[in-house]
Structure 1
Amino acid sequence: MRNTARWAATLALTATAVCGPLTGAALATPAAAPASLYAPSALVLTIGHGDSAATVTPQRAVTLSCAPTPSGTHPAAALACAELRAAGGLDALAPRDDVLCTKLYDPVVVTADGVWQGKRVSYERTFANQCVKDAYMSDVFAF
């Protein structure tokens, strides 16, 4: 029984002596390196029918991450990220000129919450109907 205890203690001390310096070096390396070369861009996008997000339960929701590569549950993540980058963010999206919509009032509310290029975003916009929403955001809220 004494031999087993001696071997266990020897093995534990040897492992600590050999692996101890390696764990310290491994822990110090990530702190010295930058966390990422890209500013984070990750959003949760929702769509619902109604006048405001406060009174509407979202009917659909997806995630969209644009850095370092487009990903998430958005069906066209690459196109949505490209559209957001080209516009400079959600607030800068402009309507397309080639779309004509009726004046039917059937409000659609969209929201985006998360981070865009390292800055916190909380976006909400209500459109008169689905056609008007699609004219503004052809890829971002197309899900």
Structure 2
Amino acid sequence: MASLWQRIASPLQRWPILRRLALQLVVAGTVLVGCGVVYWWIEPHTPTLSDGLWLAFVTASTLGYGDLIPSTHASRMFSVFVVLLGFGVLSFVTAAIAATFVESQERRMEREILHDLHRQVKALHTELESLREEMRRR
């Protein structure tokens, strides 16, 4: 029986787009955790790490629920950085997902083109053989 890592790694090896998407999701998660740790460190209204992580997620995604808000000048300036970083990271992840769909459509079109090309080559081969047979009879 294949291990869990082998089941996860197999599709990632076959499709480079999925490998990039997985890498970008890991980077996005790492960035959010790092920002959460910084919020926990500089913001007095985030007494727990989970509060810092929540504030980082809400700020990076620009949801802004209002349950936790930056109260110091340092955390407000950091929030600007987190919003810009969130836009960048989420844009990369969205682009990777879109590229996955585009790649699958391109592969489908390539398969159709190759199938049509093989059919035409086979027809040409059959026609060439019939012409050769006709030439032999003469």
Q: For the superposition of Structure 1 and Structure 2, which TM-score range results when normalised by the shorter chain? A: under 0.3
Higher relative contact order (CA 8 A, sep 6+): 1
TM-score (norm 2): 0.24
Which structure has the highest strand share of the two?
1
